[in-house]
Amino acid sequence: MKALAKMRPGPGLELIETEVPQPGPRDVLIRVTATSICGTDVHIYRWDAWSQQRIRPPLILGHEFAGEIVAVGEEVEGLEVGQSVSAEGHIVDHTCAACRAGQPHLCRNARVIGIDRPGAFAEYVCVPAENVWVNAPDVPPEIASLQDPFGNAVHAVYTFDLAGRSVLVSGCGPIGLMAIPVARVAGARLIIATDPNEQRLALARRMGADVVLNPRRDEVAEQVRALTGGDGVDVVLEMSGAPTAIRAALEALRPGGQVAALGLTSEPIRLDWNDLVVIKGATVQGIYGRKIWDTWHRMRALLQTGAVDLSPLITHWLPLEAYEKAFRLLMNPGDEVVAKIILYPNGMD
């Protein structure tokens, strides 16, 4: 089968031919119909400091996908050949403290599809049956492939009660953009989005942001206070991981406000912990992954009812063989609008 892999340390990926994986007794083999590129995949392509510490080539990448079951292990129950599925990417141990406390998304020994084991940038991927999510039949595979990052957005939004509250979405990458309509469904009365990229801000408006601010031209904290009667926002959804954006978001937060922090910084950062967190009485909650399976059920309802439409975020559709173009667009979009790129390992028919 065709697969896109990191074969050796260093920048870039390679399109390879390899054997179709064979499912074990508790596994499922899935023919991949659509897969989307994550920011993590870009980090691995670039071979940055994080990738050098975490990734062990050779490795087939890809963890955001949809496909069709083509084989099941002899001990698998409740899943059948032909079903349309995606998968929760974190394969957990069920024995660590987090798993025993009902927080398997925080499992300290989790192995991640496409990072710690072969992923879905391939014609076929093999995953444990317990990680398989059966997709609703009316959800297109392209949309179904976005459930991994969409789950991050849903998890972040529903961490706090947003009904009737003002919200700042800090960073309009794909997950930040996904969070905007979810925040609206959750009842936010005012949604402000910030990003230094004008194309992303245009997408933020399309996804439902009331106000967009560009920190290259706007004084974010000052503008936010002006929009909220001088108080600041009730809730920050921090999606950027950019030090300057994090500081601005905390400055824009009202006293007693809440922060759902999902964006990862590239290195440790400095901030005024006293004034921005402690004296302000801020609540800061780290967000990682998706709650298994609570977040997935929320996603299903949001997508099936049409309450959230993710289709505007898909900006490019390419065969797997065009991966170089896809990564080039993500790393250097220029004036082009680039959000989520869908790859088709088994062709675009």
Q: How many CA atoms lie within 13 A of 240 on its CB side?
A: 22
The burial class, CB within 10 Å (0-12 / 13-18 / 19+), for 288 is middle
The mean of the pLDDT values for the chain is 97
pLDDT at res. 308: 98
| Nearest-angstrom CA–CA distance, 109 and 112 | 10
pLDDT in tens, 13-72: 999 999 999 999 999 999 999 999 999 999 999 999 999 999 999 999 999 999 999 999
pLDDT in tens, 313-336: 999 999 999 999 999 999 999 889
* Full-model pTM: 0.97
Residue 209 phi/psi, 5-degree rounding, is -65, 140
| Nearest-angstrom CA–CA distance, 132 and 89 | 9
Spell 68-92 as b/e; 16+ CB within 10 A means b: bbebbbeebeeeeeebbbbbbbbbb
Which 3-state string (H, E, C) describes 142-183? HHHCCHHHHHHHHHHHCCCCCCCCEEEEECCCHHHHHHHHHH
Q: What is the mean pLDDT of residues 162-178?
A: 98
- Which positions are catalytic? 40, 43
pLDDT at res. 201: 98
pLDDT in tens, 125-161: 999 999 999 999 899 999 999 999 999 999 999 999 9
* Encoded tokens for 282: 């801020």
pLDDT at res. 349: 76
Write down all domains in the chain, each with its CATH number in brackets.
Answer: 2-146+310-344 (3.90.180.10), 153-286 (3.40.50.720)
* Encoded tokens for 319: 């065969």
Cβ atoms 44, 51 nearer than 8 A: yes
* Encoded tokens for 85: 């599925």
pLDDT at res. 261: 98
